[in-house]
Amino acid sequence: MGSGRRFLRYIIALGLLAMVASAIALGLIYRMFTVDLPNIATLQDYRPRIVSKVFSEDGNVIGEFFIEKRELVPMGQVPKVLHDAIIAAEDANFYEHEGLDFFGIIRALMKNIRAGGIVQGGSTITQQVVKSLLLTPERSIKRKIREAILAYRLERSLSKEEILYLYLNQIYFGHGAYGVQVAAKNYFGHDVAEVDLAEAALLAGLPRAPSRYSPARKGNTALARERQEYVLERMQEENLISREQAEQALARPILQVNRAEPKEDEEETSGPITKAEILGEPEPIRIYPLRRLNKEIAPYFIDTIREYLLKNYGKEKTFCGGLHIYTTLREDDQQAAQEAVQYGVDAYMERHPDEAEQDSDNPLDGALLAMDLPEGYVRAMVGGIDYGRSQYNCAVHARRQPGSAVKPLIYGAALDKGYTAATIVVDSPLVFNDPVLEEKWKPKNYSRYFVGPTTLRDALTHSRNVVTIKILRDIGVSYTIRYARKLGVTSPLSPDLSLALGSSEITLQELLIVYSTFAMDGKKPIPLSIHKIVDADGQILEEHQPMAEEVISPQTAYLVTNLMQSVVKEGTGRAARAIGVPAAGKTGTTNEFKDAWFIGYTPDRIAGVWIGHDQPKNLGRRESGGRVAAPVWVHYMKKTLQKGSKKSFSMPSGIVFSRIDTKTGLLATRSSSKTRLECFAEGTEPTDFSPEERDQDEADFFKEEFDPLDTTPLAGDLEGGSL
């Protein structure tokens, strides 16, 4: 008896020891799986990667930056049909289990065996949230155990609706779409709140295998339909919909369409009744292709916004922070700009039909940049003809020789050095010795004529190269470069007389700033592309107002504008008269016709155009800025000038007018044969009268002989050029 008791005590002790050992072992195992588990509390402040959006002035989204394309949507905006479809397809016992659904696992196993493949998974929605947000996607027993533990903890930390909110906003639906809001927009072209039963069944079938069941993949509608049928069947089994509702949903065909195509029934009917309803046919489910929004509307402009954000906010904030960037770009203006540049290129190609074959590796390109005045709002930006071919932004980054487009800057510098619009400069031959090249440089005018004494106005109007060189030599190259810096030129400038012919490469944006300064009474604007930036919480990170700094006097600015009005009225920019309102501007053509420019403005709008090859190449004889670029400017301005635009440039105080003799630049007399009412800064107008005229033609003295059949490019072109 005593030995029996001892044996029993031994067995009990051994059992207790085994239990303790098992408890310790289980504790150690549990600790092994839980020691470094993520903290569930982090999900209470759910901050996933959210797409940053760029908005146009019109309030539309024109660009997106993201790593995961996601938009958070509250549960109240998720329609009941989608809520029910997701529950039925992914986790029918979601509201009953505590993170793990053992009956669901058995049910899924049986369905998969009958189907001969995986058609239903055993993971609950809670497990999928844990896997997506807290764990790595590795496939291992350890990860599944950790997932189960976290799912159990999550159920005790958050409500069912909070867990479902995480799921609906986190899960991947294919084609770059994360969350139900982006998925609805990607596939159906509308917000998730508008999703109906047929669409909901398609969406609910995607999380299991998005690429396999995507209705947007070509030739994939049969698989998408198969998955849709499964979801509708599950909804019937769970008594969430009737058989009739399921049949109506399945009766709707899946139609892959182009986003640009209008709905056929919208074309032929009006009001709420559609063609399908009239014919008694089911409305198709329209599936749209994935949008490449950044490339659709203003790709080069979007690139400049991205560059700015990366510089100021970094990669994480730019691509994941859910920023809202409100810009100054107008979509109609942008469309007009793109059409205008294409129009210019097409017109050139019609004149040179062999160009496309000869230059497949170096095609013709173009750029246009436009701003509203006086605000400096950037309204349109075209950085190139084909963004798919080249993402290099010719409007902002490309430095090219501006030719005579640089001359207004030099004439402005001359006005501030004591010149006037009536100052006489003799247009006569010049010869310079070049010690580097060991040869002589003889700058010429395009006409190969020298007209003798000419006023500053006529020299700019007709883009006299030699006169500009003489002016630059007189006022000083160093002074002119400092003047250019003041007006907004930041590119390197050659410290020699070639500056007069636009040999120094600068950007279209720099030229636009210079001309804007003349247009804005001497105030240099800061081109403004962004109104404000708002973070995901609605906090304004930055907000911008128009800014301009006065760098030259209003009188000088007005005089340069007035001079450039003559360029448009009777000079190299005559094509710009076609817009029908007063305008000022200047053409530019570089040596051997490699680049064509036109920068012009009205009192409330400025635009600049450049046309040329990516690798500088002769555009062809006579293909000047006036012929190639100015028509592009006209095409754009005609489409974008607002009704009621100002009809004339405002004149500041301190401007006076005097009638002058254009041959002498002095006050006109009765004997003066050619006179002009000229404008001056007060105190600079002439006080002496012109002497009696002599009846002779001084210009003939400067005529240069040339072969009229010679078609070789000139060293000095129509409006200036490189050396």
Lowest mean pLDDT among 352-361, 375-384, 538-547, 600-609: 352-361
Name 426's Cβ contacts closer than 8 Å, sequence gap at least 6: 452, 453, 454, 470
In a domain, 505, yes or no: yes
Cα dist. 514→384, 504, 586, 636 in Å?
22, 15, 12, 20
> Do 533 and 396 share a structural domain?
yes
- What distances in angstroms separate CA 562 from CA 171, 376, 408, 521, one per listed residue? 63, 21, 11, 12
Please, are residues 129 and 139 in contact by the beta-carbon 8 Å criterion? no
Is 90 one of the annotated active-site residues of the chain?
yes
Residue 272 has pLDDT above 50, yes or no: no
- The count of C-alpha atoms lying within 13 angstroms of the C-alpha of 580, restricted to the half-sphere facing its C-beta, is 10
- Number of domains forming the structure of the chain: 3
Residue 453, helix vs strand vs coil: strand
pLDDT band at 708 (very low <50, low <70, confident <90, very high): very low
616: in domain: yes
Dump pLDDT digits (tens) for 382-437.
999 999 999 999 999 999 999 999 999 999 999 999 999 999 999 887 767 655 54
Q: Is residue 30 part of a domain?
A: no
Q: pLDDT per residue over 4-28, tens digit each?
A: 677 777 777 777 777 766 666 555 5
**With 60 as the cut, is the pLDDT of residue 115 above it?**
no
Cβ–Cβ under 8 Å, residues 533 and 541: yes
Mean pLDDT of 50-74: 95
Residue 374: cis peptide before it, omega within 30 degrees of 0:
yes
Query: Do residue 320 and residue 250 come from a single domain?
Result: no
Q: How confident is the model at residue 289 (pLDDT cuts 50, 70, 90)?
A: confident
Residue closest to 432 by CA, chosen among 496, 504, 493: 496
Same domain as 500, residue 451? yes
> Which residue among 57, 64, 71, 90 is the active-site one?
90
**At 143, which CATH number?**
1.10.3810.10
| Torsion angle (degrees, nearest 10) of CA 152, 156, 158, 164 | 40
Residue 534 sits in the same domain as residue 448: yes
H-helix or E-strand containing 452?
strand 452-455
Per-residue tokens: 120: 């239903």
Which position among 56, 214, 404, 463 bears the catalytic label?
A: 404
pLDDT digits (tens, 9 = 90+) for 547-573: 999 999 999 999 999 999 999 999 999
pLDDT at 148 exceeding the cut of 90: no
Predicted confidence band at 169 (pLDDT cuts at 50, 70, 90)? very high
503 is catalytic: no
pLDDT of residue 217: 87
Q: Does the residue 120 lie in any domain?
A: yes
Q: Which residues in 351-386 are b (16+ Cβ under 10 Å) and which e?
A: eeeebeeeeeeebbbbbbbbbbbbbbbbbbbbbbbe
Both 311 and 440 in a single domain? no
pLDDT at 362: 85
Indicate if 569 and 696 belong to the same structural domain: yes
Q: What is the pLDDT of residue 641?
A: 87
The CATH number given to whatever domain includes residue 582 is: 3.40.710.10
- For 591, other C-beta atoms within 10 Å of its C-beta total 23
| Closest to 323 in 3D by CA, of 538, 488, 43 | 538
Q: Are residues 215 and 308 in the same domain?
A: no
pLDDT on residue 218:
84
- On the CB side of 206, CA atoms within 13 Å amount to 28
Top mean-pLDDT range of 265-279, 386-400, 439-453:
386-400
Q: Tokens at residue 288, please?
A: 């749209």
* Residue with the larger pLDDT of the pair 665 and 15: 665
Whether the pLDDT of residue 242 is over 60: the answer is: yes
Whether 129 and 60 map to the same domain: the answer is no
Asked whether residue 276 carries a pLDDT value surpassing 70, the answer given is no
pLDDT number for residue 706: 33
Distance CA 259, CA 619 (A): 38
Each residue of 607-644: b (16+ CB within 10 Å) or e?
A: bbbbbbbbebbebbeebbbbbbbbbbbbbbbeebbeee
Examine the pLDDT at 324 and tell me if it is beyond 90.
yes
pLDDT greater than 70 at residue 200? yes
- 378, β-bridge pairs: 371
Give the burial string for 131-164 (b: 16+ CB within 10 Å, else e).
Answer: bbbbbeeeeeeeeeebbbbbbbbbbeebeeebbb
Is residue 422 in a domain? yes
Cα–Cα distance for residue pair 134/139, rounded to 1 Å = 14
Q: Please compute Rg for the chain using Cα positions.
A: 37
Both 553 and 415 in one domain: the answer is yes
Provide mean pLDDT across the span 463-490.
95
Q: Look at residue 649 in the predicted model and tell me its pLDDT.
A: 93
At 717 the pLDDT is 38
Res 703: pLDDT = 41
User: What is the average per-residue pLDDT within 460-473?
Assistant: 93
Domain coverage including residue 173: 78-259+275-291
* 281 and 302 co-located in one domain: no
By C-alpha distance, which of 600, 603, 534, 606 is closest to 573? Answer: 600
pTM for this predicted structure: 0.85
* Residues 214, 308 share a domain: no
Residue 17 lies inside a defined structural domain of this protein: no
Higher pLDDT residue, 510 or 119? 510
Please check whether residue 354 lies inside any domain of the structure.
Answer: no
Q: Are residues 320 and 230 in the same domain?
A: no
Task: Report the amino acid identity of residue 399.
Answer: R
The answer to whether residue 581 scores a pLDDT higher than 50 is: yes
Residue 719 lies in a domain: no
Whether 89 shows a pLDDT value over 90: the answer reads yes
| Angstrom distance (rounded) from CA 95 to CA 161 | 9
Alpha-carbon span 717 to 1, nearest angstrom: 127
